[in-house]
Structure 1
């Protein structure tokens, strides 16, 4: 495993790419990966409401985790970024990568189990990258990506509320049924 890699550096023009998780991290990864010119960029998320956001960020298709686990998606992608941090999402990401494919584990939560069987990594000869412990140069890369327009934070804003409604904003973010990703509070 390699650590500290930036997903966009690993996407080449014409590759098939998937991003597991269409929250903030997944949508930003989708934007970066779209800049690499993939032939196909699939967002994987259980919430249909994330489809429009993922499309605005460059995804060509949105599928659910159940759809992703079935053929024809299994072992289909050159690059897979796991950005969900949900139990099972790392294993799903590894199952989507083709033989010799590359997987970036970016969304793993610090707590909870994220089981990965060694054979699921070794037999398909996957290269696995993590972003934890990224070197400081990764931050400068992110700043350059924002400056170059490869990352558009406005695309993630799903709600605008007056500053006085900050409590309502937090309730929206806590509500799993809500489509909220980022909320802009206006003075």
Structure 2
């Protein structure tokens, strides 16, 4: 069968591999759609410290259950499912306090073990979520990015009436925007350096958008907030150099959600943090957010297909990667169709 495999940084291709089988407690999923994520690009570039090579990437995917391993209950052959990529031990300190997404023995499908850019993939039965009838497999492949958004918003603990600022209008920024609106946050500011992305953010409901190359964002945002600053800031740009600006723009008692994996240091002025009693939180993956996202998607409060700019076959993965590397302004979410 066909799979997209990264053998080493910058060394990738669509290859023929043996068909996997479902072990005890696992199901075999025939993948219909899988999304290319920034994390996949980091693996390809050798910028992901967690990956083990060679690796079949892909942690955003949905498909149909093909077969069951032993001791599997609650899932049937033919079920349409999406897959939570977070595999945790259930015993370590983070797991014991209800934060399995940072398990001490964490495994992520598509990072530590093979993922969804293959025709058939074996995954733990506990990680599959059956789809409501009216959610398509293409939309279901995008549940995972929305769980990232749900997780960072949960970590920031919004209060009624809070304004949210999102740095970065890429796919994760747009999932945070849609999720925030679905959760009742009415005032959302989005910044980016690509006007096409900002136009898309405006279409999806952002109240204010600013190109940070064309505007003095600090001046604009402080004017909008009558000098008070922003209670919630989500860093979907993941640029360490932006942290000092986030500290200045945060209101007193503000919360900043960080999502990036950069190893570059950030300047942190302790005075800014202490005088405002700011909270800086990291957010990694998702903490059991799939049911919440599926519910919001089923009710029509999230529009995942609005994020999709390209649908390509698995054989076109190399050209999709080239586009994302060299012409990112042309793409939002790229979906790879693996089976029909």
- The bucket for the TM-score relative to the shorter chain is 0.7 to 0.9
Q: Distance between the aligned counterparts of 1:38 and 1:110, measured in 2? A: 28
1:138–1:90 Cα change, 3 Å: farther
Pick the aligned partner of 1:71 from 201, 215, 219.
Answer: 219
When the two structures are aligned, how many residues end up with a matched partner? 183
For residue 82 of structure 2, what is the aligned residue in structure 1? none
Task: Give SS of 1:137's match.
Answer: coil
Q: Tell me what 1:84 maps to.
A: 237
Distance 2:240 2:219 in 1: 21
Q: Is the 8 A contact 1:69 1:96 kept in 2?
A: no
Structure 1 residue aligned with 2:319 = 168
CA distance in 1, matches of 2:301, 2:216: 26
The alpha carbon displacement at 1:79 in A equals 1.3
5+ residue gaps in structure 2? 1-98, 102-150, 223-227
Q: CA deviation at 1:41?
A: 0.9
Q: Aligned partners of 1:65, 1:109: CA distance in 2, in Å?
A: 22
Other structure's SS at 1:114 match:
coil
CA contact (8 A) 1:22 1:50 kept: yes
Q: Provide the residue aligned with 2:281 in structure 1.
A: 129
Q: CA deviation at 1:18?
A: 0.8
Residues 73-127 of structure 1 deviation map (CA, whole Å, 9 limit, x = unaligned)? 145212111111112233332322212222222x222422222222221112222
Tell me, in whole angstroms, the C-alpha distance in 2 between the residues paired with 1:61 and 1:133: 27
Asked which structure has the greater CA Rg, the reply is 2
TM-score, normalised by the number of residues in structure 1: 0.79
Match of 1:50 in 2: 197
> In 2 relative to 1, CA 63–137 (structure 1 residues): closer, same or farther, beyond 3 Å?
same
Q: How does 1:13-52 map to 2 (within 5 A)?
A: 13-52=160-199
Structure 1 position 65, deviation (Å): 3.1
Q: For 1:73, what is the secondary structure of its paired residue?
A: helix
Query: CA separation in 1, counterparts of 2:245 and 2:211?
Result: 11
Aligned twin of 2:335: 184
CA distance in structure 1 between the aligned counterparts of 2:319 and 2:270, rounded to whole angstroms: 44
